[in-house]
Structure 1
Amino acid sequence: MKEYQNLELIKRIKALADTGLVYAKDDYDKERYEELRGISLELLSNVSDQPLTMLNDFFMPERDYPTAKVDVRGFVMNDKNEILMAKEQIDGHWTIPGGWADVGYTPSEVVTKEIEEETGLSCSVVRLLAIYDKRMHPHPPQPFYVYKLVFLCKVENGGLKPGFDMAGAAFYRIDDLPELSKDRILESQINQLYNMVIENDKNVHFD
């Protein structure tokens, strides 16, 4: 828990430094914000066990006000009330299909594109189910601040065929879920989403 709290503080420090670099007018202030940003990346390297050089390359200096990253996911059920899942090659675990929001695509376009790329199924969006702040849920620690959008989708056509970067695609019963990729989805979230669909709950869950 303490490590998680430290990570959240480091991310806040980095965000403040990035914001300062965007708006600072004075060279003295910019130098101090750059130093603060460097310290935050060093701390992040210590907490995450990622090389500092990799973090420097990955976290390029912000050119605008830093904001949360957006992860877009699709919740799809078949006529047996089974849930569509995709198996990640990275960790060998399962998640509902989706990924980072792409620039130039609407959220609904992103989610249908990701579902088809990862599972082979062409879907349409029914409605928004939830907006999760990952910080508010017991996901593994990560360097990003992430909002997760989950859309209810329905299959229009196609057949199950995992994408080139996925290790599998299948439908699973709610009481027989595979091992989950907890960085991407949690069992508690799947249960909540499932109940919302089954109970025809029209509310949008947030946070």
Structure 2
Amino acid sequence: MSRIDHINNPDAPEPNSVVPSTVAFVTNDEGRVLLIQRSDNGDWALPGGGHDLGERIADTAVREAKEETGLDIEVIGIIGLYTDPGHLIEYGDGEVRQQFSIAFRARPTGGRLASSAESVRVAWIAPDELDDLSINPSMRMRIDHGLKRLAEPYIG
């Protein structure tokens, strides 16, 4: 399914859904960030996805990271809450979702890097290599907040 991110685009379609979602900001011992290259739009992003009924929100981040990267992770904190109504995600099936995402800080605990139907590539990326990648500005903000280790979670 295709995906188009609209950020403050006056021509974007009206939203018709809000789905709580998560991303996992995972770093390794060398300070590299775990990123996926999305299969739906080719952008690089933190692993993550929508919350399912019957699960705790932190478990969403753990599940999505495993599905998209092959790695097991442990959530260790919250980086921020991202709910900008100017960020809309348009899917090929007609859904236009208003952003509602919680970014969690996590650490790897096992598994092996592996791509999936949602991730054509999975890699540990050094912070100084981020500018060379196609990353949505909203996602880049979450990554930058994770790298800065803000004293308090971002709320915006």
Is TM > 0.5 for Structure 1 vs Structure 2?
yes
Structure 1 distance, partners of 2:151, 2:52, is: 27
Aligned to 2:41: 91
AA matched with 2:59: E
* Alignment check: 8 A CA contact 1:7 1:141 kept: no
1:141–1:73: structure 2 CA closer, same or farther, 3 Å change rule? closer
Gaps of 5+ in 1: 12-58, 60-66
Find 1:78's aligned residue among 1, 23, 28: 28
Greater helix fraction, Structure 1 or Structure 2 = 1
Task: Give the strand-richer structure, 1 or 2.
Answer: 2
> Would the aligned equivalents of 2:36 and 2:119 in 1 still touch at CA under 8 Å?
yes
Q: Which residue of the partner structure matches residue 107 of structure 1?
A: 57
Residues 4 and 141, structure 1, Cα contact 8 Å, conserved in 2: no
- Structure 1 residue 164, shift from structure 2 partner: 3.3
Runs of 4+ in 1 over 3 A off after TM superposition: 5-8, 139-142
Pairing partner for 1:189 from 112, 132, 142? 142
The normalised TM-score by structure 1 is: 0.61
Larger Rg: 1
- How many equivalent residue pairs? 143
* 1:145-174 deviation line (CA, Å, top 9, x unaligned): 221100001011111111233201101011
2:9 to 1, 4, 12: 4
User: How far apart, CA to CA, are the structure 2 residues paired with 1:104 and 1:79?
Assistant: 33
Matched AA of 2:119: M
Q: 1:121 to 1:92 in 2, by over 3 A?
A: same
CA distance in 2, matches of 1:4, 1:164: 29
Question: What residue ranges of structure 2 are gaps of 5+ in the alignment?
Answer: 1-5, 91-95
- What one-letter code is carried by the residue in structure 1 that aligns with 2:84? K
CA RMSD, aligned part only? 2.5
Identical columns (%):
20
Q: Give the Cα separation in 1 of the matches to 2:142 and 2:108.
A: 21
TM superposition shift of 1:5:
3.8
Counterpart of 2:39, as a letter, is Q
**Which whole-Å CA distance do the structure 2 matches of 1:110 and 1:186 have between them?**
18
The whole-number CA distance in structure 1 between the counterparts of 2:66 and 2:105 is 14
